[in-house]
């Protein structure tokens, strides 16, 4: 289905009478495609005494015309505008963004608008270096962009709590599906605690029910034990508030009582357990069972990549697996008795600064070549960074054929490994290098589709840090005292490939109405790192200068524009 002809919509508005009204009020509602009004309607609101409880009013809008469906590649959005009038005076107004789509988990996987979509995604902790969760809209939206466009995921789980509305707005706009769940991890408290958790279900759904990207409500405390009465209530509350969406509850044991619509399961073993219910979604895997740092040797980086690939290969082997959400997208800060001893969990496919590890290349490589042609080695080019010498090279790509050159000489031609990864749409490539090292030099990898070269990447064999780059996510910010953007540091070879053992201290200097969020000087980790630039409440120009002790100085300029007036 591409469009809905002759569509209609019911807009439910909640009016709270903070003061008594002796005369009727009027609700005016319209729905728009951009600036074009598709339909409008009105609803009389009768006089009322003052009350703390909002009263529901439903306005029916008819004859919208042909409505475009929201999907992954064309996330069509509409806006609903509501005004509350007393006579001709507008006393309140609001707007919401909505989309039209049909999403359901079935006994043969997940369907979006009647088409089966194998879910491939990552869990997200909403935390950032230096500040925890205290990041404004721009940084939250950037995470959605990294997941959808850099990692080519089609789903994210907000583990383990509802996340920023700005992040969810970006998921709507970019076509990134969302499993959103209530706060909590393993612990279930007393009756008062449970009542608060049930209220969290209400608050989450009421806040976020208009987001078309959200396809599943998580109504169970992550990895908690069974509690029949408690979870029967959370599930019932979700269904009463939103009968259009299914529910799930993330658990860690298959014998768990199933009271939701979708059996959502954290399974860290391999091979995965077979589905034990018709609607089945894997919600965590790999993660803490194989923490991996950007500075680990090639053996660990390769195995980390292959573990994610093996899981997704098994998920693709059975349509009853709706798909999988890996643990996790980004490394994150943690408490003292968890993680790697430095209060960081290295469970992500990117580091804490959102810079990719090789496993990120696997997720990216599973997109169609029409979206992006991907060629991502699961290694850095070095002959001796393995126990007995570099032996097996794994390359993640959606190409059909690869050619490898060492020092300008063609040494190998390889096809995807469909023996180990028979079910993946784009299996990784693998080649035994031991017989290829007749000489050493630069590596060149060429990717081919239908016999035509479509991509090539080069990697230096010199072992020298050659370039220093300063890469901002944005150059135009707003002077609201909170707006922030990431600035990434990278030390690379002459071809732009990261040098993972560069750990130099970068000296920073900032001029203008902004401040640095992060260390100064900043010591690189894995050849890279980042700080954020946060504006003050003053427009103007900002210059950031970064000085590498050997590779010199780089600088970037930002324009800080005035903030919009606050609306009260």
Catalytic residue numbers?
223, 284
Rounded Cα distance, 473 and 151, in Å: 16
Count of CB atoms within 10 A of residue 373's CB? 16
Considering only CA atoms, which of 519, 493, 492, 497 is closest in space to residue 506? Answer: 519
Query: What DSSP letter does each residue of 294-334 carry, written as one string?
Result: TTS-HHHHHHHHHHHHHHHHHHHT-TTEEEEEEB-SB-EE-
Considering only CA atoms, which of 438, 285, 452 is closest in space to residue 362? Answer: 285
Tallying the residues shown for the chain, one arrives at: 568
Considering only CA atoms, which of 561, 364, 540, 554 is closest in space to residue 472? Answer: 554
Which residues are within 8 A (CB) of 154 and not within 5 positions of it... i.e. 6 or more apart?
72, 117, 119, 120, 121, 148, 175, 176, 177
Report whether 294 contacts 403 (CB < 8 A). no
Which residues are within 8 A (CB) of 88 and not within 5 positions of it... i.e. 6 or more apart?
none
Report whether 19 contacts 131 (CB < 8 A). no
DSSP-derived letter for residue 527 is T
Considering only CA atoms, which of 277, 304, 224 is closest in space to residue 105? Answer: 277
Considering only CA atoms, which of 387, 382, 367, 377 is closest in space to residue 428? Answer: 377
Report whether 194 contacts 230 (CB < 8 A). yes
Q: How far is CA 334 from the centre of its chain?
A: 19
Considering only CA atoms, which of 520, 494, 493 is closest in space to residue 506? Answer: 520
Phi, psi dihedrals of residue 284, rounded to the nearest 5°: -155, 140
């Amino acid at each position: 289905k591409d469009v809905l002809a002759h569509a209609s919509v019911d807009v439910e508005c909640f009016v709270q009478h903070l003061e008594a009204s002796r005369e009727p009020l009027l609700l005016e509602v319209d729905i728009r495609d951009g600036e074009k009004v598709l339909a409008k309607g009105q609803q009389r609101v009768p006089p009322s005494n003052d009350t703390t409880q909002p009263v529901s009013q439903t306005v029916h809008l008819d004859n919208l015309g042909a409505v475009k469906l929201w999907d992954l590649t064309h996330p069509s959005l509409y806006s609903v505008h509501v005004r509350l009038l007393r006579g001709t005076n507008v006393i309140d107004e609001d707007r919401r963004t909505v989309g039209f789509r049909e999403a359901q988990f079935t006994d043969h996987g997940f369907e979006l608008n009647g088409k089966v979509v194998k879910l491939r995604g990552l869990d997200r902790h909403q935390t950032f270096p230096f500040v925890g969760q205290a990041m404004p809209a721009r940084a939250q939206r950037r995470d959605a962009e990294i997941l959808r466009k850099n990692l080519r995921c089609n789903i994210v789980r907000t583990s383990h709590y509802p996340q920023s509305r700005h992040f969810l707005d970006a998921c709507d706009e970019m076509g990134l599906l969302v499993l959103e769940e209530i706060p909590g991890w393993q612990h279930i408290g007393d009756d008062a605690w449970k009542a608060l958790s049930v209220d969290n279900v209400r608050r989450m759904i009421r806040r976020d029910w208009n987001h078309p990207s959200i396809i599943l409500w998580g109504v169970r405390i992550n990895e908690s034990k069974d509690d029949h009465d408690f979870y029967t209530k959370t599930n019932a509350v979700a269904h009463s508030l939103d009968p259009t969406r299914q529910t799930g509850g993330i658990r860690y044991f298959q014998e768990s009582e199933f009271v939701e619509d979708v059996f959502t399961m954290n399974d860290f073993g391999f091979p995965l357990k077979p589905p034990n219910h018709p609607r089945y979604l894997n919600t965590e895997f790999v993660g803490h069972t194989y923490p991996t740092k950007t500075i680990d040797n090639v053996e660990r980086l390769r195995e980390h990549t292959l573990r994610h690939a093996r899981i997704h290969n098994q998920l693709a082997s059975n349509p009853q697996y709706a798909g999988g959400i890996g643990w996790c997208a980004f490394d994150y800060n943690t408490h003292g008795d968890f993680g790697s001893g430095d209060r960081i969990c290295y469970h992500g496919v990117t580091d804490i600064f959102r810079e990719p590890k090789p496993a990120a290349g696997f997720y990216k490589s599973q997109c169609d070549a029409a979206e992006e042609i991907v060629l991502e080695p699961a290694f850095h080019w070095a002959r001796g960074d393995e126990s007995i010498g570099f032996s097996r090279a794994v390359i993640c790509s959606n190409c059909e054929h690869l050619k490898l050159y060492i020092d300008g000489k063609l040494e190998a031609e390889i096809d995807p490994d469909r023996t180990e990864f028979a079910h993946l749409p784009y299996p990784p490539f693998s080649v035994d290098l031991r017989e290829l090292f007749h000489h050493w030099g630069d590596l060149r990898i060429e990717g081919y589709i239908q016999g035509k070269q479509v991509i090539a990447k080069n990697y230096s064999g010199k072992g020298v840090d050659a370039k220093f780059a300063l890469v901002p996510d944005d150059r135009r910010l707003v002077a609201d005292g909170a707006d922030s953007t990431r600035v990434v540091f990278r030390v690379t070879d002459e071809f732009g490939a990261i040098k993972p053992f560069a750990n130099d201290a970068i000296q920073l200097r900032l001029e203008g109405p902004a401040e640095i969020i992060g260390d100064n000087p900043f010591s690189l980790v894995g050849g890279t790192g980042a700080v954020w630039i946060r504006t003050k409440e003053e427009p103007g120009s900002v210059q950031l200068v970064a000085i590498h002790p050997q590779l010199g100085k780089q600088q970037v300029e930002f324009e800080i524009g005035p903030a919009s007036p606050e609306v009260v």
